[in-house]
Amino acid sequence: MARFGLLTALALVLGLLDRAIPLTALLGGAAPGIKLGLANTVLLYAVYLMDWQSAVFLMFTKVLLSGFLFGSMTAILYSLSGGILSLGVMLAIRKRPAAGALCAAVMAAVAETMLLIQNPHPKGQRLWCVILIGIACIACIAAFIAIGKGKIRGVPGTSIAGAIAHNIGQVLAASAVLRTPQLLTTYLPVLIGVGAAVGTLTGVVAERVFRAMHINPDKPEEKRK
């Protein structure tokens, strides 16, 4: 139980840190609602080192608490939708992260294609968005290969898939609440790319943390006893 409280507090603090890093402003304001998702490392920990019920409980606690403390009912709706989808995906693929990374790579590639089809002559902000998604594709495929060869463990793969699922969930909720289905074709591809990028980042961070704690995420029992 103490570990639970600690994790919740950590998730809330990291959530605050996410808010404090003005990624949207750094990107020139072009893409609203983008966060690093550092709080997701806590969920990754729960996914790998606790049972699924605890992970679900942790996610709900984090979303509801941070919503009531810092946000609004509408914000809770968006986060909850993203959180449920993301956690579901992460729990489903935690044993098969390579498959998850491959799926993520395919999705990012599809998103990039959608953007290119919609605007065959990308310029300005649209251009670097395509570049971003391209990088995300490569990162995902690299993760897939590395996991397959046993070079890295599965955490980044799971993290990427989770981040993309989170963004899909949020956009689904947003397009329903805002009654703007056009978000699905215009903004979702962008968020999938961004999700792949920040998912890689948080996944690597989580992986490092696990290593520093001498935990093998694939066989947590070894350390925990």
Partner 1 sequence: MKKTVRILTYLIAAMMILAAWSGAATADDLTKESRVGYYLDTVITLTAYTNHPELLDAALERCGELENKLSRTIEGSDVWRINHAEGKPVTVSTETIEILQTAIRVSEMSGGAFDVTIAPASTLWDFTSGETKIPATEDLASAAEKIDYRKIRIDGNDVTLEDGMMIDLGGIAKGYIADTIKKELEEKGIQSAILSFGGNIVAIGVKPDGSPWKVGVQDIDGATGETMLVSLNYGGSTVTSGIYERGFTLDGVTYHHILSSETGWPVQNELASVTIFSESSMLGDALSTATFALGTEKGARLIESLDGVEALFIARDRAVSGTSGVEKYLKEGTEFSLIPLSAEEPEAAEPAAAEAAAEETDGTLTLLIQVRETDTAPGYILLQGADSIGFLPLPEEGERTQEIIQTLEDGSVWRNVIRMTPEGFSMIESDCEGKDCIEEGEVTLENSQDRLLWNMVICAPHRLTLSLYTPEEAVEFSKTILGF
Q: Which two tokens stand for residue 98?
A: 């390579």
Q: Give the footprint of partner 1 on residues 161-180 (CB under 8 A).
A: 174, 177-180
Is 114 among the residues that bind partner 1 (CB under 8 A)? no
For 58, the token pair is 């942790």
The region of 70-78, 93-101, 151-159, 210-218 touching partner 1 under the rule CB under 8 A is: 70-78
| Contact (Cβ atoms closer than 8 angstroms) between residue 66 and residue 15 | yes
**Which one, of 7, 2, 173, lies nearest residue 81 by Cα?**
173
Half-sphere exposure of 129 (CA within 13 A, CB side): 24
Interface with partner 1, residue 29, by CB under 8 A: yes
Among 8, 10, 16, 75, binds partner 1 (CB under 8 A): 75
Please report how close the Cβ of residue 93 comes to partner 1 at its closest, in angstroms.
22
Decide if residue 198 touches partner 1 (CB under 8 A): no
One residue of 8, 16, 60, 204 binding partner 1 per CB under 8 A: 60
Backbone CA torsion sign across 24, 61, 221, 149: negative
Q: Which is nearer to partner 1, 119 or 151 (CB)?
A: 119
Q: Pick one of 7, 85, 93, 129: the residue that binds partner 1 (CB under 8 A).
A: 129
Q: What angle do CA 48, 173, 81 make, to 5 degrees?
A: 25
Tokens of 99: 């498959």
Of 186, 187, 161, 168, give the one whose Cα is nearest residue 105. Answer: 161
Write out the residues near partner 1 by the rule CB under 8 A: 19, 24-25, 28-33, 51, 53-54, 56-57, 60-61, 64, 68, 70-75, 78, 119, 123-126, 129, 174, 177-180, 182-183, 186-187, 190
